[in-house]
Chain A
């Protein structure tokens, strides 16, 4: 998170300069209130809101890439934070009437911040729609980041099990298992970094060859699972064959620039209502074992 925050140091500097300036001006001009005049309920309410706003701002900065939407969200929350902060600080002080910036900070910074935040959220919504289009094939309707595989950013085995149940209405539903041949020797030869990259790129190739309605998951290791809703046997076979071809023609470049070709083993089963997700997965894995690599034709 700290690495990401470093990219935003300008915005953070701006907000903290304003904050610091306001605090200094308050202390310079203001006069401390006696203890019994302080309304503690206000202090806790306004101060707490200010701190919450600051935390939201940092969370957004820490989790988002650079860009216009991030700037808008940050500045919006930043200004709201300033207004709240000023509100909390002036509970402790009597400010003279000529401190014109006090109402300015309180009443202008807040609506200004809210305006920026709203505009930012609108663009965030459009950005998310664009990302959703890009993510199609990786996730269906439902999102739960704990079920995403950190390496390939597609669903894990838990997500697959859950989706088999969710999609079971979309009959005929086919579950397809794909396994890369010779992944362990590949890792041994080219290293884990290269192996990880191979998995990520194979994921992309598979996604490019799937329909919008299909769901790709990483089962474990070098094994992938695909759920194909509304798909008859013949069509599933055709898609399987297309994937096999796509992977066979995918020229993965190892770190020394040489092309390395992969091959797939495929197993598929129909998802009937009467079988549980675990049983279906076991059956698909068994079907996969039957698809042994064919002997090379000379």
Chain B
């Protein structure tokens, strides 16, 4: 199965990525991302509250004047540091949600224009996957769909550690808010978060709706497939859209994040052990382990995440039974599978189905 794209044919084949984007990886400490794009939107919110840029950029090695000049690039590590100090300085629980609402279409030149020209949710996700370095660098949406339902799971590209919940809140609020804006209606999303229920539940009610579930092991959005291709009124001229598309294609993109690249290999079953993964990447097992650790991950954790993702797709989208999924994943019997599933996300498959699906 391929991520970052979705099945359009009923036989559930996944479109392969363009080869130049699937090679190599990028790491947490490489300065790859324009500071005047998504990080600047967060800075805007802090500036509006009268928090000085010296405070929230302290120790990150980034200066606001350079951000204004539009030349500054930030690494994921610097970005995470910005998130940490922003959360400490901002008084209130709604920072991630406000940032999320501002993320898309955003102010990213042609990329925003392209996003604004998208005519359906499916199109938006395709554009986000194609230009993830600008539109969704920290987490990328992966779309899985069947005849009736679709699931959008958010993949952590670089190992965000403690800030993963914050980024998930922002990105998922962003996408839900964007769909609401473009379609001018509330959609019946069912939303699952990997983290436990926070003390500020009310922010979720207001920003994301009432079907929200915590502790489900992954960050996922579920909705009927009809919404995926529902046409929105287009706000961009076809010529402008074409030009934006052409300009975006000409820009070079950094390689996938290290964690994303590792998960891709696991998902394609090119690697089933740390040694195989290291060999695939041309690293020694020790170096590979060290790099995983640097990205707040371990081989076991990524493998669990990939398996859970597959289970959730099979259960929640395709409606498979425990037996079918167990056999598909190569478990000898259902009891073993149930035990493993509980280890991945803290609950049994049936509890997960009850929790996240309800009516489905």
**Interfacial residues, chain A to chain B (CB-CB below 8 A):** 149-151, 157, 179, 184-185, 187-188, 191-193, 196, 219-223, 281-282, 285-286, 289
Contact = CB atoms under 8 A, between A and B. Distances in A.
Contacts of A185: 181
B207 interface: yes
B331 to A, nearest CB: 39
Given A157-B200, A184-B177, A185-B181, A220 B206 contact: yes
B203 interface: yes
| Most chain A beta carbons < 10 A, residue from B91, B102, B206 | B206
Interface string B61-92: 00000000000000000000000000000011
Interface in B177-203: 177, 180-181, 186, 200, 202-203
A192 B45 contact: yes
A212 B44 CA distance: 37
B48 A192 contact: yes
B206 A179 contact: yes
A288 to B, nearest CB: 10
B36 interface: no
| Most chain A beta carbons < 10 A, residue from B91, B98, B102, B205 | B205
27 contacts: A150-B92, A151-B92, A157-B200, A184-B177, A184-B180, A187-B98, A188-B102, A188-B181, A191-B44, A192-B48, A192-B98, A193-B48, A196-B48, A196-B49, A219-B205, A219-B206, A220-B93, A220-B94, A220-B200, A220-B206, A220-B207, A221-B97, A221-B207, A281-B202, A282-B210, A289-B186, A289-B210
Contacts of A193: 48
A150 B180 CA distance: 28
B contacts with A: majority SS: helix
B132 interface: no
Contact of A150 (B48, B91, B203, B207): B91
B206 A223 contact: yes
Interface in B271-311: none
Contacts of B48: 191-193, 196
B202 A188 contact: no
Nearest to A179: B206
A281 B177 CA distance: 23
A149 B49 CA distance: 13
A188 B101 contact: yes
B248 to A, nearest CB: 22
Contacts of A151: 92
Contact of B202 (A150, A187, A191, A220): A220
A286 B102 CA distance: 26
Interface string B31-47: 00000000000001100
A282 B207 CA distance: 14
B210 A285 contact: yes
Nearest to A187: B101
B92 A184 contact: no
Nearest to A148: B91
Interface in B201-248: 202-203, 205-207, 210
Nearest to B185: A292
Contacts of A281: 202
A220 B203 contact: yes
A281 B206 CA distance: 12
A6 to B, nearest CB: 16
B92 A149 contact: yes
B102 A187 contact: yes
A136 to B, nearest CB: 24
Q: What 5 pairs across the A-B complex have the smallest Cβ distances? A: A220-B202, A193-B48, A150-B91, A192-B48, A221-B206
| Most chain B beta carbons < 10 A, residue from A157, A219, A220 | A220
Contacts of A219: 202, 205-206
A149 B92 CA distance: 7
B44 A286 contact: no
Contacts of B44: 191-192
A233 B216 CA distance: 40
Contacts of B102: 187-188, 192
B325 to A, nearest CB: 33
Nearest to B91: A150
Nearest to B209: A289
B252 to A, nearest CB: 29
A184 B179 CA distance: 12
Given A192-B44, A220-B205, A286 B92 contact: no
Given A191-B48, A193-B48, A184 B101 contact: yes
Contacts of A286: 210
Contacts of A149: 92
A157 B206 CA distance: 12
A219 B92 CA distance: 12
B80 to A, nearest CB: 22
B74 to A, nearest CB: 21
Given A192-B44, A220-B93, A221-B94, 16 more contacts: A157-B202, A179-B206, A184-B177, A184-B180, A188-B101, A192-B48, A196-B48, A219-B202, A219-B205, A220-B94, A220-B205, A221-B206, A222-B206, A223-B205, A285-B210, A289-B186
Contacts of B206: 179, 219-223
